Each structure stands twice: as C-alpha cells, then as structure tokens.
C-alpha cells in the first residue's frame, strides 16, 4: 500500500516558558530537540500505524534562537521510506507573541524504525510523493540516505584497516 506524505503531517505548538530557557533568555537546545523527536515520532507513527523508535538524527541545524515567550510551531512529515524505516523532516518556526514576526529556527531530519509487537522491525507502507514539494523532499531524502550508507561503509573500512 502506498501512502501520501500528507497522511503523516503533524503540527505541534508550544510556548517558551521560563523553565525552557538558559541565562540568555533563549530556549535550551535539548528542549527543542525533545519537541522535534516527539513531533517526528508522531509523524512516523501515523505513517507506520505501529510503535516507532528513533534510529538517528541525520541533521539538526539551529538557524536562529528561540526566545522566552515566543510561540513555537513544530511541523513534521515523512519524506521517504525504506522497508522498515522512514525519514521524517521537521521544521521549527517561532513567532513573537506581540508583533507576529515569524522566524525559521531549526531544521532536522530523523530516521525512525517501525517496531512490531514482537519487538522486531516491521514492514511499513511506501510513500508516494505527489506535489512538487513532496517530490523535492523525497529526492533530498534519497541523497541523504545514500550519503549515510557511503559514510557507514567508509567508517567500517577504516575500522577494519586499523584493527590490530
């Protein structure tokens, strides 16, 4: 069965409270990472319709600080799928509560694995990108996966080379 990336779309909204901030009045990176992981897991779960676990965070780029009192919107969507895993793209934007000014703060790509009731990886539906944006995200995800596979191979070769 094929699914649309839109089937997995998630939008979460948070507000930055004092307990979320550091001495500079900006949000702790770990708090944002937690919100990203939650939104990503919900998106992956909507696609797989089973339990999912975070396998990796491929990239997480902090672009602009998120300030105390700002509203934060976390959007997540499955970009591409494998047999049991899927890449989820997450975008974090914030909004000044008084002016309405909006900021793009963080972009991240996470890989989740679907887990069956037996605790083992479970097959998931394929993704079928339809819009130009979905096709672009699908293609970029394929490039990131190829890069991860190549890096893993190179690291394994290096490890074998330096073993006594």
For all residues of the chain together, what is the average pLDDT? Answer: 95
Side-chain half-sphere exposure of 33, counting CA atoms within 13 A: 11
Q: What is the pLDDT of residue 161?
A: 84
Q: Residue 164 pLDDT > 70, yes or no?
A: no
Residue 61: how many other CB atoms lie within 10 Å:
9
Tell me if 5 sits within 8 A of 137, measured CB to CB: yes
Percentage of residues of the chain with pLDDT beyond 70: 99
Q: What is the pLDDT of residue 7?
A: 94
- List, for residues 38-87, the tens digit of each pLDDT value: 999 999 999 999 999 999 998 899 999 999 999 999 999 999 999 999 99
Q: Residue 113 pLDDT > 80, yes or no?
A: yes
CA gap 22, 145 in Å, rounded: 34
Q: Give pTM, 2 decimals.
A: 0.92
Query: What tokens does 52 get?
Result: 């999912």
Q: Locate the DSSP E strands across 71-151.
A: 71-81, 85-95, 102-115, 126-127
Q: Residue 28 pLDDT > 70, yes or no?
A: yes
Give the CA radius of gyration of the chain. Answer: 18
Spell out the domains of the chain, with CATH numbers in brackets. Answer: 2-162 (3.10.129.10)
Q: What is the pLDDT of residue 1?
A: 79
């Amino acid at each position: 069965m094929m699914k649309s990336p839109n089937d997995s779309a998630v939008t979460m909204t948070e507000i930055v409270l004092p307990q979320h901030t550091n001495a500079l009045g900006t949000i702790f990176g770990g708090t944002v990472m937690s919100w990203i992981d939650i939104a990503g897991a919900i998106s992956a779960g909507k696609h797989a319709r089973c339990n999912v676990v975070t396998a990796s965070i491929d990239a997480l780029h902090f672009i602009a600080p998120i300030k105390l009192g700002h509203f934060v919107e976390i959007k997540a969507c499955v970009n591409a799928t494998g047999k049991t895993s899927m890449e989820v793209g997450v975008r974090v934007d914030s909004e000044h509560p008084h002016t309405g000014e909006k900021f793009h703060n963080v972009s991240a790509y996470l890989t989740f694995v679907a887990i069956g009731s037996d605790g083992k990886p479970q097959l998931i539906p394929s993704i079928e990108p339809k819009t130009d944006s979905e096709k672009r995200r699908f293609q970029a995800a394929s490039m990131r996966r190829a890069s991860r596979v190549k890096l893993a191979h190179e690291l394994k070769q290096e490890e074998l080379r330096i073993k006594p």
